[in-house]
Amino acid sequence: MKKHFLLVTTLLSLSLGTAHAQKEDSLTIRKIYDEVLEHGKSYEWLRQLTSEVGPRLSGSKGAEKAVIWAKDLLEKQGFDRVFLQEVMVPHWVRGKKEEAFILNNKQKVAVPLVALGGSVATPAKGITAEVVEVHNFQELRALGEDKCKGKIVFFNRPMDAKKISTFEAYGGAGDQRRSGANEAAKVGAIGMIVRSLSSTLNDHPHTGSMVYATGVPLIPAAAISTNAAELLSKSLKENPSLQFYFKQNCETLPDVLSYNVVGEIKGTEKPDEFIVVGGHLDSWDLAEGAHDDGTGCVQSIEVLRLMKNLGIKPRRTVRAVLFMNEENGVKGGQKYAELAKQNNEKHLFAIESDAGGFTPRGFGIQGGSANDLTKILTFKDLLDPYGLHEIGKGGGGTDIGPLAPLGTILIGFKPDSQRYFEYHHTPIDRFENVNQRELELGAASMASLIYLLDKNF
């Protein structure tokens, strides 16, 4: 009887303890959201980064200015430590604005076109040639040199509109941009153009990185807007012999010294264990890089500000890392992981925000054990009231990916994806296209998850 009484008492005590902890967690998360929605700083920081610093492609003066801005901002917040990590980054420049025309008999129609990052320039006079339209590499290889030599290959496979996640659709179409020039060169093409990776029809061409393969001729590669792709495809059906002209003036210069910018709040119990939250500081050169990835940077800084202002003292050291060179090399992410290994730093979790500043939906979790995932899923009841319904297995992020071999659990912040690829890598990725409330909710979401991870693992 006594043993039974002790067992009941113990179970009741555990139950009450769990209920108390959940209530405490619920109140803390509510404080995080109240603070960010009433006194949030991330929107103003984003305005400064986009409007005062502007485009910041790796190796550029803009990127250099962004590092200075970020370090100064982190130092002003009074965090426990702010420092830079040296990293050598690529330096590709676009040069004079590109030109492109569809030449259909006597008709000359200008179309929006941008060079892909890493591409070589055209000859000084540009390229004029007939066009071969294809939708995948298999179709191109089947045509072979007989049909493609001396021509411009036009990849026109759209993102799959049936995919609910536009990121999944983007992934399914991305091989054309990354490797299209290599495949086109193998069949004797003298240039490659690709339909922009966009989920909508518009007149804004989307740039992005491409990489040349070893031993393959280097041919110029560019993207045309989705409306231009539709027009070119329609025109080719009417006149397969039409020609296309484009001229671009880009070049790759020697690598440049740049920096990751890091701020941290020291852990009270296990300061040598780390939880990272971050975004990438660089952006493409066409616009301000607001959604990609100014939002992720300012949200990450806001996470630390929230913890400091609310008196949340993490057991482990929490770092905000603004990575350099995600867009065309991932050198910042690689350097961060290299230094983490070199310094014997134990990184338990790394969270990346690089999917835009839209309404938060949840988190994708990569790595860890089945028990780790189960424990994270127990947070659902606490996060569900804030619209974070999509928590489960998923991708982490490009910059934090190099931490995976160190055993770090990678977590990707998932905002609503439907509008992201209207702005991604385009001239319209500007401050005014970010909603303040959506941005701030994202920062609160990540701060809440970090609070829970730090307390429960």
pLDDT tens, the chain, 457 aa long: 665 655 445 444 445 456 767 889 999 999 999 999 999 999 999 999 999 999 999 999 999 999 999 999 999 999 999 999 999 999 999 999 999 999 999 899 999 999 999 999 999 999 999 999 999 999 999 999 999 999 999 999 999 999 999 999 999 999 999 999 999 999 999 999 999 999 999 999 999 999 999 999 999 999 999 999 999 999 999 999 999 999 999 999 999 999 999 999 999 999 999 999 999 999 999 999 999 999 999 999 999 999 999 999 999 999 999 999 999 999 999 999 999 999 999 999 999 999 999 999 999 999 999 999 999 999 999 999 999 999 999 999 999 999 999 999 999 999 999 999 999 999 999 999 999 999 999 999 999 999 999 999 9
C-alpha 65: how far from its chain's center?
Answer: 20
35, 273, 302, 326: which one is catalytic? 326
417 & 435 share domain? yes
331 & 220 share domain? no
Q: Which residues pair with 107 in a beta bridge?
A: 104
* In contact, 56 and 281? CB cutoff 8 Å: yes
Assigned token pair, 138: 């298999």
**Does the bond joining 293 to the residue before it have cis omega, within 30 degrees of 0?**
yes
Strands (DSSP E) contained in 143-199 are: 152-155, 191-195
Q: How far apart are CA 192 and CA 129, in angstroms?
A: 11
- Domain encompassing residue 348: 29-91+254-456
| 64 flagged as catalytic | no
Tell me, letter by letter, the H, E, C secondary structure of 233-293: HHHHHHCCCCEEEEECCCEEEEEEEEEEEEEEECCCCEEEEEEEEEEECCCCCCCCCHHHH
End-to-end alpha-carbon separation of the chain, Å? 36
Q: Read off the CATH number of the domain in which 123 is found.
A: 3.50.30.30
Domain count, the chain: 2
Q: Report strand pairing: 251-265 vs 346-352.
A: unpaired
349 & 270 share domain? yes
Torsion of Cα atoms, 412 then 414 then 417 then 422, to 10°? -60
Q: Read off the CATH number of the domain in which 305 is found.
A: 3.40.630.10
Domain annotation covers residue 2: no
> pTM of the entire structure?
0.93
Q: How far apart are CA 142 and CA 157, in angstroms?
A: 16
294 & 430 share domain? yes
332 & 393 share domain? yes
Within 10 angstroms of residue 226's Cβ, the number of other Cβ atoms is 24
CA angle 78, 80, 83 (to 5 degrees): 95
